[in-house]
Amino acid sequence: MTNPITMQAIQQDSHGSPEVLTQVVLARPTPAPGQILVAVRAAGVNPTDWKHRAAGLFLGRLPLVLGWDVSGVVEAVGFGVTLFKPGDEVFGMLPYPHGVGSHAEYVTGPARALAHKPTGIDHVQAGALPLAALTAYQAIVDTAAVHAGQRVLIHAAAGGVGHLAVQIAKSRGAYVIGTASAPKHDFIRSLGADEVIDYRSTDFRDAVQDVDMVLDPLSGDTRARSLEVLRPGGILVSLLPGADPDEAAKAAAREVRVETLLVEADHAGMNAVAGLVASGSLRAHIEAAFPLADAAKAHALGETGRTTGKIVLTVP
């Protein structure tokens, strides 16, 4: 029988390897004004989760319950909430980075960080989407304003953000080029990519030029080399900070823009993602789904760097 005032959660009391994640009993949260309480059914696991687990990243506080992605059922609403009622199925991303906590049976968050879950997908699909899909959408649509006929290069195109970015760029009418290892090429083409480059055997600078946008989740040398394939007026959107102190000068010399994006909670963006899902233009590939109690196994799998698509935790 469920205890009405407590919940199971995955918590860490220190930074380190996946083994620092333990299942604990915590007080069930209550929604503050403007918030909703969600009974979690599924929650994605993203690279930012294992980076925070290992080293804190933006959140140094401990103990910590990780998780920004959430799909579930509204349990209660706080004062002033009009968008949702108890019983509604919702999905979204908690405010990044400080609104963390979805790797638990219940979580609270601002009502406008979430949207109604599309009826055509289950909670595992919905729980996989928010952070990665919002990142791709905010990069391609909000930042780069990609439109039909433009050429878009997506690095790590089989990854969590990358495989969703391919689909979002195609939905905008773009010509999409992806980079990935050869075994993942058929998968990326199945998403709609027009070209795929094997980064292990080919320098992408030799295979593509005159690109309008590059989406780079990798940074480092990939970020620096990506400037060379942009046409004048093009834009590089990176998801990690750069290390080249001369980057701004190089970008100016090539007449291109460089932006570093940190994903934001976004009600309108989540509604746009829901619309793409409903139209059949967007779907998450699930590499694996683990029960909440096996969060450490999910983190260990993600850290191999060999997964395709998304990893999800499920809550019965």
Give the pLDDT confidence of 261-279 residue by residue, as tens digits: 999 999 999 999 999 999 9
Cα–Cα distances in angstroms (integers) from residue 46 to residues 41, 160, 165, 264, 274, in the given order: 17, 8, 15, 15, 19
Read off the pTM: 0.97
Assign 114 to helix, strand or coil.
strand
184: which DSSP letter? G
Contact 176/168 with Cβ under 8 angstroms? no
Query: How wide is the angle at C-alpha 207 spanned by C-alphas 206 and 208, nearest 5°?
Result: 105
Say what the pLDDT of residue 151 is.
98
Structural domains of the chain ordered from first start: 6-129+284-314 (3.90.180.10), 132-260 (3.40.50.720)
- What span, in angstroms and rounded, lies between the C-alpha atoms of 104 and 21? 12
Residue range 203-261, pLDDT digits in tens: 999 999 999 999 999 988 999 999 999 999 999 999 999 889 999 999 999 999 999 99
What pLDDT score was predicted for residue 276? 98
Q: Are strands 106-110 and 35-45 parallel, antiparallel or unpaired?
A: antiparallel
Residue 57 and residue 97 in contact, taking contact as beta carbons nearer than 8 Å: yes
- What's the pLDDT tens digit per position in 41-55? 999 999 999 999 999
Q: Which residue from 210, 168, 215, 164 is spatially nearest to 187, judged by alpha carbons?
A: 164
What whole-number distance in Å separates Cα of residue 309 and Cα of residue 282? 12
Stretches in the chain below the pLDDT threshold 70: 1-2
CB-count burial class (<10 Å; 0-12, 13-18, 19+) for 224: middle
Q: Which two tokens mark 234?
A: 């093009």
Residues 33-69 as b/e (b if ≥16 CB within 10 A, e otherwise) read eebbbbbbbbbbbbbbbbebbbeeeeeeeeebbbbbb
Main-chain dihedrals φ then ψ at residue 7, nearest 5 degrees: -155, 160
User: H or E element: which one contains 164?
Assistant: helix 160-171
